[in-house]
């Protein structure tokens, strides 16, 4: 392996400059910066994974801590999208391997992580058809029937989409086309993807490149996934609206004036979190992993905390859900674990 020289890596100064340009919504400046890096000899995959991806993480952190508005985050992401397109344009490759379709799970709007992954594998010689955000299972299946593709790469960034990911994975399995699943929504080491029946899984694009190179040897060809433990996830999902309504009333009773006192974005973050807590509970029940739920509870408390919403209100919401779901033993256990970490 050749030694990495100072000029062939992305430096912390490059990253700082790039995030600053995103903060100023300076698209030309951002494209100029990556053009400069490519001219300096930085590998395009390094630009994508060591500049654009960590910068986007930092964008997420700034939004989470309330330092950046949603508008700033949207502007930054749109610029990173332009930057990825610019890298793709300046670094074209003649495909030497098969054709792969990359799509996001139905309801998953994080297209940029999937796009980064798609460009990385394209730079490694794969021919890529990129279908973008939120592709419903039926449309994906129709597409597979019309094109002769080597594999499907399914992207999921947020774990509350796992029930839909399961439907997509099951539908693709019927077509016989192998499916590689990836993205942070599939959990640590993408373990929930295998639980839902994916043939192979990876969190990051770099490991996925190795997995694709080893295709099909390292893949689990349509092995039957273990069935869900029971149907609690479906029964809880059906009660979503009633649960959210009960939680809203509990907040208004237990924390009078709280919701009215919040500004627009903080208020909508709190209101959305009521449904998201149910969605993550459903996903955690589906893959039977309490960490999925407790991690989200901790995340919610942190996000709401930076928006002046007390953690006790999250506890009150979980308490309301626990009372309403008294006859669901696994949901009870998850909710109790969620309340313990608050
Ligand atoms: C931009 C952004 C958005 C944009 C997305 C626009 C777009 N074009 O992508 C919009 C505004 C739509 C959005 C919406 C939401 N977002 Co958002 N978003 C982000 C942000 C800031 C950047 C995303 C990004 O570009 N990441 C790029 C890199 C960093 O992602 P990556 O996962 O490392 O990508 C690699 C791997 O995942 C892998 N990979 C990806 N796909 C695949 C596929 C395969 C097969 C393989 C093998 C690998 C692979 O390859 C990539 C390169 O290595 C992230 C912050 C973050 N840390 O990512 C939050 C973040 C993901 N969002 C978050 C949230 C909560 C939401 C919302 C729920 C907010 C809301 N209240 O509405 C919604 C959900 C929408 C939905 N249902 O999908 C949270 C998730 C928290 C959690 N606990 O899960 C994050 C982490 C923000 C935060 N810091 O808290 N978001």
* Tens-binned pLDDT, residue by residue, of the chain (342 aa): 444 444 689 999 999 999 999 999 999 999 999 999 999 999 999 999 999 999 999 999 999 998 999 999 999 999 999 999 999 999 999 999 999 999 999 999 999 999 999 999 999 999 999 999 999 999 999 999 999 898 999 999 999 999 999 999 999 999 999 999 999 999 999 999 999 999 999 999 999 999 998 876 667 655 677 788 899 999 999 999 999 999 999 999 999 989 888 888 889 999 999 999 999 999 999 999 999 999 999 999 999 999 889 989 999 999 999 999 999 999 999 999 999 999
Probe ligand 1: pick from 124, 158, 177, max atoms within 8 Å of CB? 158
Q: Which atom of ligand 1 is nearest to the CA of 208?
A: 47
Q: Do 194 and 256 reside in the same domain of the chain?
A: no
User: Which of 39, 62, 92 delimits the end of a domain?
Assistant: 92
Q: Do 240 and 196 reside in the same domain of the chain?
A: no
Q: Give the number of residues written for the chain.
A: 342
User: Which of 194, 227, 260 delimits the end of a domain?
Assistant: 227
User: Which of 177, 210, 227 delimits the end of a domain?
Assistant: 227
Distance, CA 329 to ligand 1 centroid (Å)? 31
Q: Do 124 and 217 reside in the same domain of the chain?
A: yes
Q: Do 306 and 334 reside in the same domain of the chain?
A: yes
Contacts of residue 249, Cβ cutoff 8 Å, sequence gap at least 6? none
| Count: domains in the chain | 3
Q: Do 150 and 252 reside in the same domain of the chain?
A: no
Domain span at residue 64 reads: 6-92
Rounded Cα gap, residues 251 and 108, in angstroms: 29
Q: Do 49 and 67 reside in the same domain of the chain?
A: yes
Rounded Cα gap, residues 166 and 299, in angstroms: 24
Ligand 1, CB within 6 Å, residue ranges: 49, 53, 56-57, 59-61, 63-64, 73, 77, 107-114, 116-117, 153-155, 157-159, 180-184, 202, 204-205, 208, 272, 296, 299
Probe ligand 1: pick from 15, 110, 180, 295, max atoms within 8 Å of CB? 110
Q: Do 221 and 108 reside in the same domain of the chain?
A: yes
Q: Do 71 and 103 reside in the same domain of the chain?
A: no
In a domain, 277, yes or no: yes
- Residue nearest atom 12 of ligand 1, based on CA coordinates: 109
**Contact, 293 vs 192, CB < 8 A?**
no
In a domain, 1, yes or no: no
For the beta carbon of residue 145, count every other beta carbon within 10 angstroms.
10
Q: Do 108 and 175 reside in the same domain of the chain?
A: yes
Q: Do 166 and 70 reside in the same domain of the chain?
A: no
- What are φ and ψ of residue 42, in 5° steps? -75, 130
In a domain, 66, yes or no: yes
Q: Do 310 and 205 reside in the same domain of the chain?
A: no
Q: Do 256 and 221 reside in the same domain of the chain?
A: no
């Amino acid at each position: 392996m050749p030694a990495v020289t100072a000029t062939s890596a992305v430096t912390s100064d490059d990253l700082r400059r790039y995030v600053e340009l995103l903060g100023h919504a300076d698209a030309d400046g951002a494209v100029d910066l990556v053009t400069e890096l490519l001219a300096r000899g930085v590998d395009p995959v390094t630009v994508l994974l060591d500049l654009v991806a960590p910068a986007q993480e930092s964008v997420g952190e700034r939004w989470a801590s309330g330092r950046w508005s949603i508008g700033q985050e949207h502007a930054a992401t749109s610029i990173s999208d332009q930057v990825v397109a610019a890298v793709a344009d300046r670094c074209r490759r003649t495909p030497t391997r098969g054709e792969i379709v990359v799509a996001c799970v139905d309801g998953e709007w994080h297209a940029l992580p999937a796009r980064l992954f798609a460009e990385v594998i394209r730079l490694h010689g794969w021919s890529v058809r990129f279908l973008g955000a939120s592709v419903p299972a039926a449309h994906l299946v129709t597409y597979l029937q019309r094109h002769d593709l080597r594999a499907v790469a399914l992207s999921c960034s947020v774990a509350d989409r796992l029930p839909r990911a399961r439907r997509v994975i099951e539908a693709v399995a019927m077509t016989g086309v192998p499916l590689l699943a990836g993205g942070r929504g599939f959990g640590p080491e993408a373990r929930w993807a295998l639980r839902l029946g994916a043939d192979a899984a990876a969190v990051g694009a770099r490991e996925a490149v190795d997995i694709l190179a080893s295709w099909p040897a390292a893949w689990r060809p349509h092995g039957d996934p273990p069935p869900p433990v029971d149907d609690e996830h479906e029964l809880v999902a059906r009660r979503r609206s009633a649960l959210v309504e009960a939680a809203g009333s509990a907040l208004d009773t237990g924390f009078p004036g709280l919701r009215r006192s919040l500004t627009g974005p903080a208020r909508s973050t709190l209101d959305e979190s009521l449904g998201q807590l149910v969605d993550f509970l459903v996903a955690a029940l589906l893959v039977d992993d309490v960490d999925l739920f407790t991690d989200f509870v901790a995340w919610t408390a942190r996000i709401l905390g930076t928006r002046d919403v007390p953690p006790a209100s999250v506890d009150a919401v979980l308490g309301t859900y626990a009372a309403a779901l008294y006859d669901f033993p696994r949901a009870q256990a998850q909710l109790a674990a969620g309340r313990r970490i608050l």
